[in-house]
């Protein structure tokens, strides 16, 4: 298990480091949405995520909902294949819910 860190890389760019799993996502993580208020365009880099499960997907969905409620454009990059598989399994890949890009 790797702890979950949200690293501010500056200018609305954040790096998620660690695991996005039931064991690493806690109430403090859920309350940490304040980083989504730092800019009108936010990019979340998931390239350092080691493991993920449905809790990780649920957290991403909550980030998306929160960002939309604040009229913040949120995008993800370097989404791990494990998470892409969960998105497809959940039937969310064609919903427009995720605006993902590589880079």
Overall domain count for the chain: 1
Beta bridge partners of residue 44, listed in sequence order: 14, 76
Residue-wise pLDDT tens digits, 9-28: 999 999 999 999 988 887 77
> Would you state the pLDDT for residue 15?
95
Give start and end residues of each alpha helix (H) in 1-103: 27-31, 54-69, 81-89
CB atoms within 10 A of CB 94: 9
> Would you state the pLDDT for residue 39?
84
Residue ranges making up the domain that contains 42 = 5-101
- pTM, two decimal places: 0.83
| Segments of the chain with pLDDT less than 50 | 99-103
The domain spanning residue 58 has which CATH number?
3.30.750.24
């Amino acid at each position: 298990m790797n702890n979950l860190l949200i690293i501010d890389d500056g200018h609305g760019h954040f790096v998620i480091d660690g695991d996005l799993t039931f064991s690493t996502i806690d109430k403090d993580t859920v309350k940490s949405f304040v980083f989504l208020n730092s800019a009108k365009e936010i990019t979340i880099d998931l390239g350092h995520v080691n493991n993920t499960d449905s809790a990780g997907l649920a957290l991403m969905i909550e980030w998306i909902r929160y960002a939309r409620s604040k009229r913040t454009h949120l995008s993800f990059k370097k989404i791990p294949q494990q998470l892409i598989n969960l998105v497809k399994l959940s039937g969310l890949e064609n919903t427009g819910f995720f605006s993902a890009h590589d880079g």
